[in-house]
Chain A
Amino acid sequence: MDLVPLTTPSREKLRLAFTVNGEPRDLVVESYKTLLEVLREDLGLTGTKHGCELGECGACAVILDGELVLSCLVAAVECPGRSATTVEGLRQGPELHPLQQCFADHGAAQCGYCTPGMLVAAKWLLDRNPRATRGEIAEALSGQICRCTGYLQIFDAVEAAGRTLRGEPAPAPLLPSVHRGSTNGR
């Protein structure tokens, strides 16, 4: 019976040849690992984060063969020949991706820990729909937990990046209104 193109006895290592951020990679890893672990531990691409490793937070999102997926739930044994894009792959040369620019300018990254997953999810959205509305942005990012921002500055940043990608001027960050000089004296 011919059914072992990728047979991997449990204690054996896995030969993994695949593409990461456009570059071919060929390595040998522990066969029980997930894509998340391979990226972080075997490739040193620690930009991809983890917050639960169970698919419950979105921090580990990457784009795999064009689809937004959670790298904590992709077994490395299923990765040979595939192509992954991580947060490290957003930047083209020294230039930041418009999403990165806008996340930085709009305060969308507070602690920055959910940011890689957010950026990747937002890229996946804008690649398909650069005219995404705020509602569509919220929907597309509904698998990414952020405990710092309350999401609103993230929505602002994705909207602004969409504009940049459409060739429109990016709006300045939305600021709170400031009331000055009033006091509580009595």
Chain B
Amino acid sequence: MAGSDPRPFNVLGKPLRRVDALGKVTGDTRFADDFAMPGMLYLKLSRSTVPHARIAAIDVSRALAVDGVRAVLTGKDFPVPFGILPVSQDEHALCLDKVRFVGDPVAAVVATEELIAEEAAALIGVTYEPLTTIASPEEALRVPEPRIHDYGDGGNVHKAVAFDFGDVPAALASAHLVVEDWFFYQGNTHLALEQHAALAYLGTDERLTIVSSTQTPHYVHRAAAKVLGVPASRIRVIAPPQGGGFGGKTDPFNHEIVAAKAAMITGRPVKIALTREEVFYCHRGRHPVLMHMRTGVDRAGHIVGHSIETLLDGGAYGSYGVASTFYTGALETVTYRIDRYRFRGCRTFTNKPPCGPKRGHGTPQPRFGLEVHIDKICEKLGLDPAQWRIDNALAEGSLTANWLKVRTIGLVPCVEAVVAASGWKERFRKLGRGRGLGIAASSYLCGAGLPIYWNEMPHSGVQLLLDRSGSVTAFCGAAEVGQGSDNVLAALVAEVLGIDILDVKVVTGDTALGPVDLGSYSSRVTLMMGNAAVEAAQRARDRLADAAGLGIPLERIAFGGSRVFDASDPEKGISFAEAVQRAEAKGGTVGTIGSYRPPKAPGHYKGAGVGPSPSYSYSAAVIEVAVEESTGIVRVEKVWIAHDIGRAINPVLVRGQVEGSVYMALGEALMEEQAFRRLPPRLSGALVHQTPSMLEYKSLATLDMPAVETILIENPEPNGPFGAKEVGQGPLLPVPPALANAVYDAVRVRVDEVPITPEKVLAALRSSSARFGPSKFPAVSWPEALIVPPPWEGGDGNAINEPKRRERPERRRAEVAKP
């Protein structure tokens, strides 16, 4: 069903204008804040000005007295907690008894004008009883009390996990060479240009309706029902197209729920549009991660044992953090052959905005470490790092040491492509002082194998409505973030049914108007929604073929050019609309459904739920830099990037995703930092975001963007719709390490830390170690490691030191779904 099609494609692979392009270039596309309603009130949140405190009292009387104020809400209006993961229901829409970071919302004002709401919010008096503040993971490990939350793995540790996939210490002991490294990847944020906004109202359909810039309307739906005590059947969540998400709009947010409650209380539509500063407080961005790696290789450079320890700065709430923690270890094994693998991961709570999933979720940090680590190993062994990646690439169809099943792998062609395009063989280590080339490769998921909450239902569903006119409407809960998922849906349906892409109308991102799709995260939509769409379209095709009455065997019936015809005699046929009419006459209204659920994963140990995916994409990048030795300023001259796309549904959009990933990665690699500032403790207890503004949170503008050459590897993936894989996240991954490796090639210093700022390069240039980066990893009390023998050491996917789980399907859920 999801396989390749021998016929030339009508739609796939063609550089067609995306179906939602018109609204975007006319300004007619309506984003969440573009919705307004008569009688609409404005909501403003009053946020904590202290990083960690008990709330002793809140005085809202002065705010209530302001002319134009309609309601003031506080934490007691929201006693029920919520959170994206079932194991981390640790947020309140407004803080109940304590605040956990500067920016945590404590009260809300609803007024006739936003300015009035803001003026009134400033009059709310909150009395705080300050608590000790935790600013870093090291501090969180050192200071178990007071606890930021009263759950987790003890003290201020949110989650700690430990796995041994084979005996790594033994492997290292017998290795030809063991290399040890420490890396740090700074936190950064999504900075989607659209600030989060929500409009809530009581619909004439008796539904509490929330229009919100969310990547996950389904999860907002669930959280709103839980917190507000309204039956889910009477809540409708609409996710209009978003002005970028990148993972920053995948959690249910406090402002959405407060707006909904405010609409319930006032009986009026209520709008909130966050300021940029508030978006920095929503965050859920890249976790700062400290890493410690030890790797043993044989004489040829083959990895006999690899160990990684990660320490994540989680911020003040759980968010996706448990999954993020697992992801700092889960995909370490899917690029190169690794005989034995040891992973330890720990996430701590700190008094800062919560971290969560950003493009690449939990994997860019260890990918940075691993790819720089390999560069060093190759240097020590005298191997070409590009050739090493080819020689050590995982074989297709592999089962990895941690029991991930990997099907198609485009890693080698990706490396070969960027090596050829960049002139690597002639230029690496030969460009002279100040100029350098670096390479790195990577892999990413095409959707998480398990849902966020345990259930047996599909991850994505598509319904088709075929109209007599020949127009087809495709309904799906998927959210269009800007990545082009609406276009994927239309293209796949149009391809299967042989009609013009504009004859497919898509209805997405509305919980009342389409089957559930879990959301636009983990690069899951193209593959999962795509497979559901293909299934639904195939079923429609079957119905039309059956009713077409062409008097030929079904297998000869072809669809194309908005016609249904005899493949052996194309003149013989009817229009697509006519075929719909015949099908409708024969069997009634023509509607079909398709749904998708990923295949079961082979690993069964506790924690095996994070990492499996129906498919993995691969990427490789070569970057050329010029490094100014007097200042440490790095200029990126060019990026060559190849991505294993499986099949490009639309090459223009694919190019945009690849280049956008490169852009975002360069920002992370060079300058973006979600950094915090603590004032001198004797004078102040303040712990604040250093730069919550577009101006001071530095992201690349036009003049900072280098040339990028994009190459696609098309090797159709049997699990993908027409062979397609993801492209939204994977191409980000190789860029930061390729940049670091290029800096080394240019000036022979290692910056083992992201971002690679001029300060760090210059410090490395002036250091006797020719390096900048961390050199220790704090003591963490790891839990007893689960021992899971790799497949080639006689394992069966279970841990040998925990009860077998295979026979107990009710426990075969993701770690993330279970406390």
Direct contact of A and B (CB under 8 A): yes
What residue in chain A is nearest B395 (Cβ atoms)?
Answer: A186
- In the assembled complex, how far is the CB of residue A51 from the closest CB belonging to chain B, in whole angstroms? 4
Complex CA–CA separation, A114 to B27 (angstroms) = 10
**Stretch in A1-9, A76-84, A98-106, A162-170 with 4+ CB within 8 Å of B:** A98-106
Q: Does B204 contact A (CB under 8 A)?
A: no
Q: Does A35 contact B (CB under 8 A)?
A: no
Q: Does B656 contact A (CB under 8 A)?
A: yes
- In the assembled complex, how far is the CB of residue A91 from the closest CB belonging to chain B, in whole angstroms? 6
B25→A52 contact, CB < 8 A:
no
Contact pattern, A 133-156, Cβ under 8 Å of B = 1, otherwise 0 = 000011101111111111111110
Complex CA–CA separation, A186 to B481 (angstroms) = 38
Interface residues of B in 683-729 (CB under 8 A from A): 693-695, 699, 701-703, 705, 707-708, 710-715
Complex CA–CA separation, A178 to B275 (angstroms) = 42
**For B648, what are the chain A residues with a Cβ–Cβ distance below 8 Å?**
176, 178
**For A181, what are the chain B residues with a Cβ–Cβ distance below 8 Å?**
714-715
Q: Does B113 contact A (CB under 8 A)?
A: yes
A interface majority secondary structure: loop
Query: Which of B23, B24, B408, B713 contacts A179 (CB under 8 A)?
Result: B713
Contact pattern, B 224-255, Cβ under 8 Å of A = 1, otherwise 0 = 00000000000000000111111000000000
- In the assembled complex, how far is the CB of residue B122 from the closest CB belonging to chain A, in whole angstroms? 15
**For A143, what are the chain B residues with a Cβ–Cβ distance below 8 Å?**
701
A147→B395 contact, CB < 8 A:
no
**For B482, what are the chain A residues with a Cβ–Cβ distance below 8 Å?**
110-113, 148
- In the assembled complex, how far is the CB of residue B623 from the closest CB belonging to chain A, in whole angstroms? 14
Given contacts A87-B27, A111-B194, A178-B714, contact A153 B241 (CB under 8 A): no
B662→A150 contact, CB < 8 A:
yes
**For A32, what are the chain B residues with a Cβ–Cβ distance below 8 Å?**
115
Q: Does B652 contact A (CB under 8 A)?
A: yes
B702→A151 contact, CB < 8 A:
yes
Query: Which of A100, A107, A151, A185 contacts B652 (CB under 8 A)?
Result: A107
- In the assembled complex, how far is the CB of residue A85 from the closest CB belonging to chain B, in whole angstroms? 12
Q: Does B195 contact A (CB under 8 A)?
A: yes
A185→B396 contact, CB < 8 A:
yes
What residue in chain A is nearest B244 (Cβ atoms)?
Answer: A111
A150→B663 contact, CB < 8 A:
yes
**For A182, what are the chain B residues with a Cβ–Cβ distance below 8 Å?**
410, 412-413, 416, 713, 715
Query: Which of B25, B195, B659, B707 contacts A50 (CB under 8 A)?
Result: B195
**For B660, what are the chain A residues with a Cβ–Cβ distance below 8 Å?**
110, 147-150
A179→B714 contact, CB < 8 A:
yes
B703→A138 contact, CB < 8 A:
yes
Complex CA–CA separation, A129 to B24 (angstroms) = 25
A178→B653 contact, CB < 8 A:
no
Query: Which of A87, A109, A142, A183 contacts B21 (CB under 8 A)?
Result: A109
Q: A49-B31, A147-B664, A178-B714 are in contact. List 18 more A-B contacts (CB 8 A).
A: A54-B693, A106-B652, A109-B21, A109-B25, A112-B24, A112-B243, A113-B244, A116-B27, A142-B701, A146-B193, A150-B663, A152-B707, A176-B655, A176-B711, A179-B417, A180-B714, A184-B412, A185-B395
A-B contact pairs, 25 of them (CB 8 A): A44-B36, A47-B26, A48-B27, A50-B195, A88-B27, A107-B652, A110-B660, A111-B245, A113-B193, A113-B244, A113-B482, A142-B701, A147-B190, A147-B246, A149-B656, A150-B660, A154-B702, A177-B710, A177-B712, A178-B714, A179-B713, A183-B396, A183-B412, A184-B409, A184-B410
Task: List B residues at the A interface (Cβ < 8 Å).
Answer: 15, 17-18, 20-31, 33-34, 36, 113, 115, 190-195, 241-246, 275-276, 393-396, 408-413, 416-417, 481-484, 618, 642, 648, 651-656, 658-660, 662-664, 693-695, 699, 701-703, 705, 707-708, 710-715
Task: List A residues at the B interface (Cβ < 8 Å).
Answer: 30, 32, 40-41, 44-54, 56-57, 59, 86-88, 90-91, 96, 99-101, 103-107, 109-116, 119, 137-139, 141-155, 172-186
The 4 closest A-B pairs by CB, nearest first: A47-B27, A111-B482, A113-B243, A112-B24
